[in-house]
Every structure is written in structure tokens, then in C-alpha cells.
Structure 1
Amino acid sequence: MKQIFHYFAPCPRGLETVLAEELAGLDAQGIAPTDGGVAFSGDEAMMYRANLHSRIASRILWRLVEKSYRSEDDIYKAARAIDWPELFDVSRTIKVMVTGVGCKLRSLDFIALKVKDAVCDGFRAQCGERPSVDTARPDIRIHVFLTERQLTLYLDTSGEALFKRGYRRETGDAPLRENLAAGILRLTGWQVDEPLLDPMCGSGTFLVEAAMMARNMAPGRGRTFAFELLKRFEPAQWGEIKQQAIAAERSEVKAAIFGSDDTPAVLEAARANLLSAGVADTVQLEEADALERSAPAAGGVLVCNPPYGIRLEEQTWLDALYPALGHSLKQRFAGWRAYYFTGDLRLAKLIRLSASKRTVLFNGSIECRLFEYRMVAGGNRKDG
């Protein structure tokens, strides 16, 4: 019988439902969304597939222990009881990260030190030596999550965060994380046979993610994972899963994916990322002002992460931009569904259109909104 393990996939807050749907599509079991992620279960092959295929998860964490605690010593004992040398070799570097919600203990940094000591003591007892700590680029990441009375200890099977697909060459200013962009595309309901336009494409994150979806390309196809360093790792099984993913890719698609920006250097950054991801021939780029460009089809999905500013002069400029965006939608995009993702909540009022849906999302710690506007000729306009 296959051994079943328990996992947790953190994600940007607000994307838990679409992540649960994605994991269900990968045949995960015991799916349980919670604030900030989704718990699920499956065998090791399931964990391999989740790392390779999940567009929305930030990481795939393997739950090693979950139990109640009262003191730092309880946490040390729980970590010390794990057979760490059975999981990875002493030559691997480690890092311990601790997150607490309602934890009453005095210092999360001290808890991280206690867990690190427990891991090293376990290795010393069996091997006579201990693994080294590397806080910058560790081989093995150990995550500790504490509530007021509950301890959960995880081994990170991903390594670098999953939004790091391995293709990005140019970032532009404050690029949208890839898993957040992919989750937003899922929230729009966009289907790969529908036209898609990002009229302020920046470094092209929405475009790359959409093109990879259209081509059915696994987002993790170009990178490595921490689970490849574990003693339980099965190279043959992993190789087969990767080959299946490559065989399922679509080399030719009829996707109508369009992107534009009004700055040539920004367009070059987007083009570099599309080339690096292997999807440049799936996206049509052009230099255009978002306020003046026409709809590339009679209907489709417009998705955009417009700029939002902190300084007063930036806000003054945006006060003029948002109404102009609304006017452009009204004049040029009848028959389209438009989605604006922003941390500037003034957009809802200044764009002067009636949003049909408002979804709360978080870009890191920044509370944002995804506003949906269904453009129907003669509708949507707010008075004033």
C-alpha cells in the first residue's frame, strides 16, 4: 500500500478556494481550505505533482508532527523525537522558520533556535556530527507554525518559493508574483479559448502565466525542488511524472493573448520574459497607450494591475487616470469582462463604473481588491 502523508500548501490570502480546486484537479485527497492555504493528503507522487503543477501555491509543506505544547521545552522535545537523519543527509544545510498566531511564548527567534538545536542534537546522536545552518540559501527549510496551544512542524518540499518559476529575466517595477497572477486569472473565469488582454502589461506576468496555461505547461518545469535532496526521493518516479507533464504540453494553440504597454523598455522586459518561458509565439505584444488602444476582439477578458502610488503627486496623477480608464472601457470594450487588481481602493469610486464583483486579495501584507466590470453597451456608468 502507498503511504499517505499530510501536506499544507500556503498561498496568497484570498486564493484558497481556487487553490483547493487546483489541488482537486491533481487528485489530492482530504482537501481542507483554511485562511492562508489549503491542507491536503496524498502519497509522495502527489507531492511531486503538486510542486510541479501548482500555479497558485507558494510552497508544499510536508507535515511531520502536530501536537499541543505549553513551553519551549515541549517544542524541543517534539522536534527531537523526529528521526531527522532518516529524512536528509547531515551534509545538507538547514534553516528553521517560525510563525506564530496567538502564541504566548516570549520569542519566536528563541523557538527557532530550540528547534535547530533539536535537529542538530538528533544528528549528533546518530552521526557524531551536525548539519550547518545557511539562512540565505539552505538545502532544507523547516517550518514551525504555532497557535496558542498547538504546534505544527513541517518540512518544506519546495525549496525556493513556487512562484519562482525559473523563467523571469526582467522584473520591471514591483512585479506581481506569478502565483498571485495565476490565481487572479482563475478568479476571472478566463478560458484558454477566450481572448485575453493586459493593456498595462509591465514585465508580462499575466501574459506569461496565461500563455503557460494555454500551452498546458507545468509551471515548475524549469526548476528544481527541495524534495530532490531528501533520502526518500525516487528519481525514476519523479522522471516519469516530469515526462508525463512534457507529453501533455500543447505546442500549437489558437489562444488569442494580447499585451501592450506605452513604454518600449517595459515591452522589451515583457518580451524577454516571454522568450525565457518559451511562450513568446503565444502572445501578441504591441506598444500602445492603455487609454487609446482598441479591443482586439468582440469580447474577452481584460485583466490589469494598474499603477497605484503612495506619494501625493502619484495620487494626483491617478485621480485623473482612473476615470479615464473607466471612459476607455465604456467606449472601446463593450462585450468584455474587465478585471482590475489594485491596492488603491479609491479606484472603485474614481473609475465611475459599477463593479459587479469585488474580491479581497492580499499582495503580501497589502490588502487589495480585484474589481470586476462586465461591460454592456449603455450600462455600468455611475452618475457624477
Structure 2
Amino acid sequence: MSLSFFAPCPRGLEPLLVQELQQINAQHIKPTHGGVAFAGDLALMYRANLHSRIASRVLLKLNQGGYRNEDDIYNLASRTPWSSYFTPDHSIKVEVNAIKSPLRSLEFITLRIKDAVCDYFRDLMDRRPSVDTATPDVRIYAFITEFDCTLYLDTSGEALFKRGWREDKGRAPLRENLAAGLIMLSGWKPTQPLFDPMCGSGTIIIEAGLMAANIPPGWQRHFAFEQYHGFDKTLWQNVLNDVKIDKTPRAIYASDISAYAVKDIEHNLGRSGLPFSVAFEQQNVLDAMPPGKDGVLVCNPPYGERIDVTTSEEYAVFFKQWADHLKANFAGWNAYILTSDRDTPKYMRLSPTKKTPLYNGALDCRLFEFKMVQGSARKEKPAE
């Protein structure tokens, strides 16, 4: 039986999610802003949750219909077969997103959908589910456009970027699915050295290690679909059994100036389940030397004490110093730097060979690619 799904993802990574879905043989793949719609059977849903490094969730489409007011949306939710998936013993949470909807209050629509679900079970079983906005058993999503409303059941539970290994997050953690996207966009291959010289809690290099080892991002966690009606335990076990872990050692390296960050990465690496070691140390990025003749450098530079700057002027000076260090010592490497500061190439006096728009949460960022050669690689007019 073919089911319809929607997988949201960080904006800018939709093409990568399309590639992932193609690799697991999803059907009717349709990218849109902020996610990808697709279709497939139950096994595909299990594989998407287990294997996608980019998706934030996998949502199962249950119902769709036009509306003119909140009562129409209530009626749509009232005739959705919720009991085919869960019982009143499950707690619920309803979330609503809308684009160009003429309805004024998303909070009121959320309340009406919640009432519809509760009334559905009360009429059917004389019981109703409780609401838990913190740790619900069941998450229900509604997406409302100018003309229609689509109701989804979340099959993932906790967001998919919560892999299960990270407890030490640092001050401004990069989400795991965005980190995976940075690695994919860099074109890094597991046969190449990879280096993050401002690693924080180690998200980028751990995601790279998991990719190189072919360890699914969902390997250490559970999913909402495991407690829904229709869960096929044998099928799920078959999906898990298909995983073949690659224990080949890889040249992955990390460093950070912060002793706290180095301690975090040590703890996170210990929980990650990587079948090989990752070299890491505490050092200033301006002292970090390349761990190979050529390779790929990927990082998300922080602000403040982790690079020992406090003002915008110091920030610009730091990037100029770092660029000089890279040009002098990292010739032959490709550097990928994620930042929300469009002036970063100007500070570095380098012209990026590529810039990819990405969003780190709500923060509008660019992933700049610099192919490092000795001497200046800056054009007369810096990229904005």
C-alpha cells in the first residue's frame, strides 16, 4: 500500500534530502520550500526515519481538504481515522503552520484541531487523550495554505536531528542534520582527511564519522511509529538487519581552543558508537596545522571567547589572520565555512569559489567554499 509523506528539513538542504529519498527508493518525490513530499510503503517509512541524515521529521499524510473557516478544519479533523494509529491512552500535541491563510489565529486553529481529536475519541470510545506539550506520545501537524488544510501524523517522535548520542552541546550547538548537510555539500569522501579546527562539541566530525562508518543516524534512538497501531516489528527488524557497518579507520580530526569544548567532544565521541578513533586536541585555530597533504576543512566559526574576540573589529582581524594561516599552511585543501556574516570573505581577503544559502534555525547563513592556494586568491571585488 502506497502512503504519502512529507519530510521537513533545514532550508537550503532540500536537494540533499531528495538524493537521500532516491537512494531508499521513495516514489513521487516532490521538493518544496523547507521539505520534500514523497510516497512509499511501511518499509520505506521505517528506512526514511532510520537513514535520513537531513530530514527533521517524517510526517504521514492522513487527510486533506478545503476550508472557509475554523469549523471546516474542525470537521476535517473529526473525520480523520485517528483510532487506526493510536488510542486515548496516548498523550497528544497539535502544531499548526500556515502560509497565506486568511484565518487570523493559529492558536485557535490548534485548539480546534485538538478538540476535534478529543471529541473523535470521546464519541468512539467514551474516553479522550490528554494533552502533553512537552513530551507527547503523538504529535499531530496541520499545514494550512490559502485554500486547504493537510493533517499529518508524526512518525518520528523526537526530531530526527536528535540522534541520541549528544548530551554535551556547547553554547550554540549546530543541529546534526545541518552538520550532515555541510559535509555532503563539501563533497568530502571518507578516503580523504577531514578537519574541523573549531569543533565545539564535535557535531560536524561525529556526523562525518557516522557517515563514513555507514551507521544510520537513527541507530541509537526510538521512533514514534514503534508505538502506533500497525507497527510491524518483524519488518522493522529486517530494516535494521540490512545495515552493514564499515569499521575502516578514517582520517578525521578536530580541535578547539576551549578546554570545555574538548571535554564535550570527548564525551560525545564516547557515546557516538563510532567503530574507529577520531583525533582531537585543544589548540588555537591559528596554530592548527593540516593533518594531511590535502583534504577538506569544514567548520562553523563561533563568536566570543572560543576564538578569543569580543568586538566586530577584532572579529575582522581574526579572520584576516586565519586566512593568512590557511594560505600559508593549507594549500591543496578545500575549506568550507558556515557563517551568517556576509562580509567574511572580505575579512579574509579571499573570494569564495562557491556560496550556498543555508539556514541555521532562523539565521540566514552562507556556506562559503574556499580552495586554498598559497598567496592571495582574492579578486578585486569581494563576494557579498
So what's the TM-score if we normalise by structure 2?
Answer: 0.95
1:294 aligns with 2:289: yes
Distance 2:95 2:11 in 1: 20
- State which of 318, 322, 329 in structure 2 corresponds to 1:321: 318
- State which of 71, 89, 107 in structure 2 corresponds to 1:109: 107
Task: Name the structure 2 match of 1:348.
Answer: 345
Q: Give runs of aligned pairs for residues 228-377 of structure 1, distance below 5 A.
A: 228-245=226-243, 248-250=244-246, 252-279=247-274, 281-308=276-303, 313-377=310-374
Percent sequence identity over matched residues? 50
Q: How far 1:61 sits from its partner (Å)?
A: 0.4
Distance 2:103 2:341 in 1: 36
1:226-259 Cα shifts (integer Å, max 9, x gaps): 11111011111112211222xx111x21311010
1:200-246 Cα shifts (integer Å, max 9, x gaps): 1110000110000111001101111111111011111112211222x
Task: Name the structure 1 match of 2:32.
Answer: 34
Task: Name the structure 1 match of 2:65.
Answer: 67
Task: Name the structure 1 match of 2:205.
Answer: 207
Native 8 Å contact 1:274 1:280 kept in 2: no
Native 8 Å contact 1:361 1:368 kept in 2: yes
Q: How far 1:265 sits from its partner (Å)?
A: 2.3
Native 8 Å contact 1:211 1:282 kept in 2: no
Native 8 Å contact 1:308 1:315 kept in 2: no
Cα 1:343–1:67 change in 2 (3 A) is: same
What is the root-mean-square deviation in Å for CA atoms of aligned residues?
1.5
Distance 1:154 1:271 in 2: 39
Distance 1:146 1:227 in 2: 24
Q: How many residues align?
A: 377
Q: How far 1:324 sits from its partner (Å)?
A: 1.2
More moved, 277-286 vs 151-160: 277-286
Q: Give runs of aligned pairs for residues 117-132 of structure 1, distance below 5 A.
A: 117-132=115-130
Task: Name the structure 2 match of 1:216.
Answer: 214
Native 8 Å contact 1:308 1:343 kept in 2: no
1:163-203 Cα shifts (integer Å, max 9, x gaps): 00010121111110000000111111111111100011110
Give the SS at the match of 1:282. Answer: coil
Q: How far 1:383 sits from its partner (Å)?
A: 6.1
Give the SS at the match of 1:281. Answer: coil
Gap runs ≥5 in structure 2: none
Q: How far 1:382 sits from its partner (Å)?
A: 4.7
Task: Name the structure 2 match of 1:135.
Answer: 133
Distance 1:148 1:383 in 2: 47
1:327-357 Cα shifts (integer Å, max 9, x gaps): 1111111111100001122212111111001
Distance 1:104 1:32 in 2: 26
Distance 1:300 1:241 in 2: 34
Task: Name the structure 1 match of 2:86.
Answer: 88
Letter in 1 for 2:27: Q
Gap runs ≥5 in structure 1: none
Give the SS at the match of 2:10. Answer: coil
Task: Name the structure 2 match of 1:227.
Answer: 225
Distance 1:262 1:313 in 2: 15
Distance 1:59 1:315 in 2: 37
Task: Name the structure 2 match of 1:15.
Answer: 13
Distance 1:132 1:21 in 2: 39
